Structures are given as C-alpha cells and as structure tokens.
Amino acid sequence: MTHDSDQRSTWHGTTIISVRKGDEVVIAGDGQVTMGSCVVKATARKIRVLSGGNALAGFAGSTADALTLFEKLETKMEQFQGQLIRACVELAKDWRTDKYLRRLEAMMAVVDRQTSLILSGNGDVLEPEGGVISIGSGGNYALAAARALMETAVNLSAEKIALKAMNIAADICIYTNKNITLEKLTGVDK
C-alpha cells in the first residue's frame, strides 16, 4: 500500500465491486491480503452486512482502519435510523475532520436497497451512475468488465455480473485473487 498523498485513492491489495440490477444489489470482494509483494492471506472477508441486513459494505485499504470505519458507520446507521446517505455524509465529515479518523487509510463501497456510495477519507461521498461501483487496486478492471456485461449480457443477474467481473479483475490485477465473498440485497428500488 502506498502512502503518497497523490496515490491515496488507489489502494493495493483488494478489489470490491457492487452491481445493482433488477430487484437486487450485490457487493463482492476478493480475499487476498498482501504486504508489499507477498500474499499474507488468501481468504480474508472484506464485505460486511450492516444495519441488521439492510446495508452492505466492502473496504479497500488497511484492515484495521476499515474495521474501525465499519464500526463507525454501523453507529451512524443506528443514529440516523438506517438512512444510508445521511449516515455516510456524517461519517465522511468525522473521517475528514477528526484528528484520529483522518489518519485512517481505507475506502468503502456501501449499498442499501436504494443507494450505492463510495466513501473516502478525503470527505468524498460519491454516488456513481450506471448501477456499478468499484474500489481497490483491481476496481477499474472489475468496473470495466461489469459495465460491458451490463450492456451485452442482459440476461445475467447482478450476482453473476459481479462474479464474472471479479474473476476478470483477478486475472489482471496481481493484488486480487479468486476467493470471492458476495453478499446480496433483494427487493431493491429500481
């Protein structure tokens, strides 16, 4: 993982993707953890179910930092009664301004039945278009693959698109493996 301020938005060691299609939204992540150029663990779980099963989140970056952010987001979700956007905006404010939190080096992809967001320590709460979001070192590969599949493989479910996109990213990104964890929410707003 790099510590150069110019490259903080590119985290090495993971790929997270979320695909929203039809009545489902999924979030998937690989299991590889690296330290420098060495694989330390191949079966890490970088996806979490939040807010009693009403939201999902995945992280890229420092594991300890991400776990802290998951806890903070869960607290914000409780505080704002499951309102994902409000909870994420409040977390981003704290993340950017709190002396301790602003040192956390991670990014998060967070979804609920209505919204898909990317959060960063720069104070970003982004809602990309097109039903696909991604983060991590293999994120752009997975994003490109998923967008192409959304247009060309119209019969594939969100789950199958995410899995295919993750496998493509794993074939290209040396920091991504094929030990994929996937969580799904159904009954989403279209």
Average pLDDT over residues 168-190: 91
Q: Hey, which residues are catalytic here?
A: 14
Give domain status of residue 9, yes or no. Answer: no
Count of domains in the chain? 1
Give domain status of residue 7, yes or no. Answer: no
- What does the angle CA 98 – CA 103 – CA 109 come to, to the nearest 5 degrees? 90
Q: Which of 13-22, 72-81, 96-105, 115-124 has the lowest mean pLDDT?
A: 96-105
- What does the angle CA 56 – CA 62 – CA 66 come to, to the nearest 5 degrees? 30
Give domain status of residue 45, yes or no. Answer: yes
pLDDT band of 33, cuts 50, 70, 90: confident
pLDDT band of 12, cuts 50, 70, 90: low
Give domain status of residue 43, yes or no. Answer: yes
Domain that holds residue 67: 19-181
What's the mean per-residue pLDDT of the chain?
88
Average pLDDT over residues 8-37: 84
Give domain status of residue 135, yes or no. Answer: yes
Give domain status of residue 161, yes or no. Answer: yes
**CATH code for position 54:** 3.60.20.10
Closest to 46 (Cα-Cα) out of 182, 174, 184: 182
24, 49, 75, 84 from 146: Cα distances, Å: 15, 22, 31, 24
pTM of the full predicted structure?
Answer: 0.88
Give domain status of residue 139, yes or no. Answer: yes
Which of the 8 DSSP states describes residue 2? -
pLDDT band of 127, cuts 50, 70, 90: very high
Give domain status of residue 105, yes or no. Answer: yes
